[in-house]
Amino acid sequence: MMKTNRIALLFGLLVCLLASCKKDHYDVTNVHGVNAEGELLLPLASGSYTMMEMMERFQIDSLLTFTESGGMSFAYSYDHQGALKGSKLLRFKDWEYEAHYTVETPFPYGLPEPIDTVLNMSQDVVFEADNIHVVSALMKSGHFEFGLTSNLGDLGQVVVTSPNIKDAQGNDFRFVYHQQTGQTGFDLAGLLYQTDEPNTLTLNYEMHAVFDEISVPQMEFDVHILASDLAIREMSGYVDEYSSRNRIDTTFTLFPDNLSGDLEINGARLRVSERNTFDLDACLIVDTAWVTGNGIAPYSIFDPMPVVVDLPSRNVFGEVYDCVLNGRLNAAGGHAFASSLFKVNAEGTNTLVTVVDTSNIDVRVDVDIPFAFSIDEVRYLDTVNMRLSDIDMPDMIEKLTLELTFSSTIPLNLDGRFFMYDSENEIVTDTLLVDSRLIRALFDGTPSITTLSIDITEDRVENVMRSDRIIMLFMVDTDAHDVAINVNQKLDFSAKARVKYKGVVEF
Amino acid sequence: MDMRKLYRISLAVALLTVASFAKSQVVSPVDFMRLNPYQMEANPAADLPYESVMSLVIGNIGLDVQHSTLRFDNLFDFDAQGRPATVNLRQFANSLKEDNFLGIHTGLDFFTLYKRPSYGLVTINWGVRVHGDARFNDGMFKLLGYGNGAFVGEDNPARVGMDCNAQAYQELAVGYQWNVNEKLSLGVRTKTLFGLANVTTDAFDAELYTDADTYALRLKEHIAMRAALPNAVYVDGNGELRADGPFSVGELFRNPGFGIDLVAEYRFDEHFSAVAAVHDLGFIHWGKNNIALTGQVNDAGQFYDNGDFLYNGLDIDQLQLIVSDDAYRERFLDTLQQYFQLEFTSAESYNTSLNTNLLLRGNYDVDPHNRFSAQVQGCFLGSGFRPAFTVAYCGSFFDNLNACVTYTVMPHSYDNIGLGVSAMIEACNIYLTTNNLIGLFKPMNASGFNARVGIVFNLFKERHYTIDESGVTNSTNE
């Protein structure tokens, strides 16, 4: 029994020993978070943009033309169809003709019985036209309104004929006029006009009358003709010098509005093509042409002025003028104005020519402004909205380092400023970049690589998070170099973040 | 050369050789306690000095937690009062090895009956066993503790690897111990098993590469796990895993399995003996309520790259939308999740092997009451092969007190000083053991915790176990 007690005591001691371990040390109820410290490396964004893709992003690619070697130009075309129109030339002025005829009465006063007689008269009228002398013409339109009054009362019918106007079958024009109820007007459309004396028309009147008695010693006739809308479809004749003034008054855009600054343009080209379907030589005289832009005083495009361009007769377009222009343009675009005179038969040649109403002088002006320039400073301003305030960022970021890398074959220097903006309080909460050179171009065809680190400490992270806009200002220059931009030149960009964190993430 | 000497040298060489690679899962002082009936779990060939033993429920209750590197003090920062205040990820990550192990084993015998018929000893045990082990590397914790800034470059990925295997099962073991002759004893124990639950990891690996120049993140992921649970688990129409299926008692007797222990003990003389054993050679067939969990990078869009998740930054337009448009940002994050969605599917039946255990032990009996032992043991775990080397002293005092001291070395675990005490109080054999005394006092800062207690009843008189002068072991009823 003693032995049993000793053994029981021994077991009791052992159990007490096991129960004596310190408990507070293992009390995990006070554990309230995870103590973490480390560094995260994260890629944020990257992109590779050729100049072509940048132009697409600027939405100006439709304004550009490209050469096989990748050269780019702003291309503007100004088409002027009918700078000088034959249809305007081939018109006679409306005219009104009145004539009074007095004929001694050939009959005795007292007629034994009624007589039936025919009286004939003739007259010449002249069409009025400024620049044309028509020998023959196919009339496009025209209307004659005819009137006849007499002291003899009702004259019955009057037959009007003209040897200068013929129908499609070659018959002389014949028009029967009934003074009381008949037709009083007729159209000339489709009729052929022919004359030996340009612009002259001979009209013959054949008056059929029945007289019961004649009580006047003289027969009086008043003829009234109103000619209107006299247009010619095709004529043969002579044309004097004929001119028409035209103006180009237009605004043009280059880069988007948020780009500002001046470009010193070198080697812009202006080409003029024309199609002159007149049977006559013509010329274009540009006496005014200037361009201006925001902050740029108007300056003449051409020197010297005026510029005279011959426009030979032809049925297809052909280039007639090509010149190189230099000058300063605002990056956003500008305002161009030109005034010019188109002249036909400027030499005043007196030869028989044929002109149709579809004869025109059409002109196309092409301006190529190549991406070859020097830039003092062009600024690009952009604003990106952001909304990060709702994101629950752990309060343990010690330092955030943004690492920017730019690799560029584009021969442009690029500086940048990034402002974080709180629009509600209208304050700039932080400035991420201050006149930082993002790209330092080498201008020798080799790529430039720029790396940039932006350290954002813990308190600045908060500033960034409560901002709702990033205002980005980029400044581009060529460091006094004349550069040529190519579609294949490229900008590679990457943004990475190095986040140092240290702190307690609470449960 | 004297054959006996040759045997001893061979045994020593074998012990040293196996110790260099063999592994042990649970080494308990019970295994060395000559008066404890449960020593037969490790050595079914042992000749117990009892006629009959019986216990219900309280005979064998054990809990064992083994780990290579998990220390409570390394996990936390402590406040001024010495209480843990915060989890210190970096400190914890630094304390980990490249390859870490965590094993949990517990068991409870519902019924034990050992009965000595006219010849040999018949043993019957019915209980439940739970074995779980996991191997994991330090990649996940170092990634969390240091960030990916510590893992930059093609040759320096953050590797996250885990291998987790666990199973719970009922075991009905029937054994027979047979003294073939004076020198040789054999033991065999067959086990009928009924699997209750299982988790098997076929793959659980991820690698995160951070490019040194661009910081581009490339994640490779491969997850494949299978599981079986007692109640019906199914995947609903939405692909969600549901575990609310019907359960019945009959489910506890599904998933049949079989295992066997084979042991031979050879006594060279009155002092030296050796034991060779293989335990738990068998399997469980999981045929019911199985599910499979698979995970790999899904092709959900722009960040999918040839089976990997590759995040190399956003394009400018995307970035602008993300910082300015809440709805877009939300959609973007939803899309990111789609790359990593896990898929649950019903799984075919499968087999898992038991944690087969190899054991070699040499004993030196100073006298019938004092024994020194050396043992190498290795266990095939789902996560690998884990060795252990143990030296033990076991002594008997006052005819009814049995004490045992052990020291076990396992990979990354060197502080396993064990103590076991058992006492015969009337017909009750009470025992209390641990293989890690430090673990009892500072369970969270030791490489393991182990405790095993029980009360068994000797129904008949104890046998006297003696070794005579010629070295022959004799046993007689009192």
Report yes or no: B184 and B266 within 8 Å, Cβ to Cβ: yes
The percentage of chain A sitting over the pLDDT mark of 70, rounded to a whole number, equals 90
Question: What does the pLDDT average to over A347-375?
Answer: 90
What is the distance between the alpha carbons of residues A71 and B34, in angstroms, rounded to a whole number? 97
pLDDT for res A258: 77
CA separation for the pair A202, A184 (Å, rounded): 18
Contacts of B442 in chain A (CB under 8 A): 21
CB-based contact, A21 to chain B, within 8 Å:
yes
A36 and B400 within 8 Å at the Cβ level: the answer is no
Nearest residue on chain A to B146, alpha-carbon basis: A38
In the structure, what pLDDT confidence band is assigned to residue B380 with cuts at 50, 70 and 90? confident
ipTM: 0.76
User: What is the rounded distance in angstroms from the CA atom of residue B408 to the CA atom of residue B380?
Assistant: 18
CB B381, CB B103: distance < 8 Å: yes
Contact at 8 Å (CB) between B122 and B181? Answer: no
**B384 vs B136: CA distance, rounded Å:** 11
What is the per-residue pLDDT for A460?
Answer: 81
B245 pLDDT more than 80 = no
| pLDDT tops 70 at residue B470 | no
> Residue B223: CA atoms inside 13 Å, Cβ hemisphere, count?
18
**Out of A414-418, B70-74, B237-241, least confident range:** B237-241
Which domains does chain B show, CATH number per domain? 3-79+100-135+165-193+251-289+351-471 (2.40.160.40)
Q: Model confidence over A198-254: pLDDT tens digits?
A: 999 998 988 887 776 667 778 888 888 899 999 999 999 999 998 989 998 999 888
The distance of Cα A219 from the centroid of its chain, to the nearest Å, equals 68
Is the CB of A14 less than 8 angstroms away from the CB of B421? yes
Query: Tens of pLDDT along A71-120?
Result: 888 888 889 898 899 998 898 889 888 888 887 776 665 666 666 778 88
As a whole number of angstroms, the distance between CA A417 and CA A472 comes to 6
- pLDDT tens for B187-198 read 999 999 999 999
- On whether the CB atoms of residues A203 and A158 are closer than 8 A, the answer is no
Predicted local confidence at residue B24, as pLDDT? 34
**Res B448: pLDDT:** 79
Q: Does residue B438 surpass a pLDDT of 70?
A: yes
Which residue among A21, A46, A387 sits closest to B324, beta carbon to beta carbon? A387
pLDDT tier, B18 (very low <50, low <70, confident <90, very high otherwise): very low
> Residue B14 — very low, low, confident or very high, per pLDDT cuts 50/70/90?
very low
* Cβ burial, residue B416 (10 Å; 0-12/13-18/19+): buried
DSSP assignment string, A259-326: EEEEEEEEEEEEEEEEEE-SSS-EEEEEEEEEEEETTEEEEESSSSS-EEEEE-B-SS-EEEEEEEEE
What mean pLDDT comes out for the span B441-453? 79
Q: Name which of B72, B83, B213 to mutate to probe chain A: the one with the most chain A Cβ atoms within 10 A of its Cβ.
A: B83
Gyration radius (Cα) of chain A, Å: 47
A7 lies within 8 A of chain B by CB: yes
* Residue B151 binned pLDDT confidence (cut-offs 50, 70, 90): very high
- Our measurement of the distance from residue A494's CA atom to the centroid of its chain's CA atoms, rounded to an integer in Å, reads 38
Whether residue B47 contacts residue B475, with contact meaning beta carbons closer than 8 Å, is answered with yes
Q: What is the dihedral of CA B298, B300, B301, B302, to 10 degrees?
A: -50
Show the domains of chain A with their CATH numbers: 39-60+377-502 (2.60.120), 64-86+243-375 (2.60.120), 88-239 (2.60.120)
For A473, B54, B325, the CA distances from A466, given in Å and listed in that order, are: 20, 74, 15
pLDDT-derived band at B226, boundaries 50, 70, 90: very high
Q: Are B89 and A35 contacting, i.e. CB atoms less than 8 angstroms apart? A: yes
Candidates A10, A32, A44; nearest CB to B85: A32
What is the spatial distance between Cα B232 and Cα B73, in angstroms, rounded to a whole number?
A: 41
Strands A33-50, B84-88: parallel, antiparallel or unpaired by DSSP? Answer: parallel
pLDDT of residue B13: 44
Residue of B268, B170, B152, B166 whose CA lies nearest to B213: B152
| pLDDT value, residue B472 | 47
Cross-chain Cβ contact A387/B323 below 8 Å: yes
Whether B434 has a pLDDT exceeding 80, the answer reads yes
A405 burial level (CB within 10 Å; 0-12, 13-18, 19+): middle
Assign A505 a pLDDT band (cuts: 50, 70, 90). Answer: confident
Q: Which residue has the higher pLDDT, A196 or B19?
A: A196
Angle among Cα A445, A451, A453 to the nearest 5 degrees reads 160
When CB atoms are compared, the residue of B82, B144, B319 closest to A25 is B82
Q: Give the burial string for A327-359 (b: 16+ CB within 10 Å, else e).
A: bbbbbbbbbbebbbbbbbbbeeeeeebebbbeb
Q: Are A195 and A164 in contact (CB under 8 A)?
A: yes
Give the whole-angstrom CA distance, residue A455 versus residue A400: 6
DSSP B77-102: EE-TTS-EEEEEHHHHHHHS-SEEEE
Task: Please give the angle made by the CA atoms of B24, B33 and B356, to the nearest 5 degrees.
Answer: 25
Residue A447: phi and psi, rounded to 5, are -70, 150
Chains A and B: how many Cβ contacts under 8 Å?
A: 144
Q: How confident is residue B23, by pLDDT bands cut at 50, 70 and 90?
A: very low
A13 in contact with chain B, both atoms CB, cutoff 8 A = no
User: Burial of A410 by CB count in 10 Å (0-12 exposed, 13-18 middle, 19+ buried)?
Assistant: buried
**A399 Rama sector, left if φ>0, alpha if ψ -120 to 50, beta otherwise:** beta
Whole-angstrom Cα distance, residue B296 to residue B203?
A: 11
C-alpha to C-alpha distance for B172 and B252, rounded to whole angstroms: 13
Residue A253 and residue A335 in contact, taking contact as beta carbons nearer than 8 Å:
no
B174 or A124: which leads in pLDDT: B174
Distance CA A176, CA A159 (A): 4
Using a CB-CB cut-off of 8 Å, the residues of chain B touching A495 are 313
Q: How high is the pLDDT of residue A28?
A: 78
- Contact (CB, 8 A) for B175 and B200: no
Q: Which two tokens stand for residue B130?
A: 């739970």
Q: Which pairs with CB-CB distance under 8 Å and at least 24 residues apart come from B334-339?
A: B335/B300, B335/B301, B336/B300, B336/B303, B338/B298, B338/B300, B338/B301, B339/B297, B339/B298, B339/B300, B339/B301, B339/B303, B339/B304, B339/B309
Q: Compare all CA atoms of chain B with the CA of A504 and give the residue at the minimum distance.
A: B86
CA distance A283 to chain B (A): 53
Please tell me which of the candidates A4, A36, A387 has its beta carbon nearest to residue B425: A4
Which stretches does DSSP call E strand in B287-412?
290-296, 304-305, 308-311, 343-346, 350-353, 357-367, 370-381, 384-397, 401-410
Q: To the nearest whole angstrom, how far is the Cα of A27 from the nearest Cα of chain B?
A: 6
Comparing CA positions, the residue from B213, B452, B471 lying closest to residue B365 is B471
Alpha carbon separation from B103 to B127, B160, B201, B385, B449 (Å, rounded):
20, 19, 15, 12, 10
CA atoms of B279 and B188, how far apart (whole Å): 10
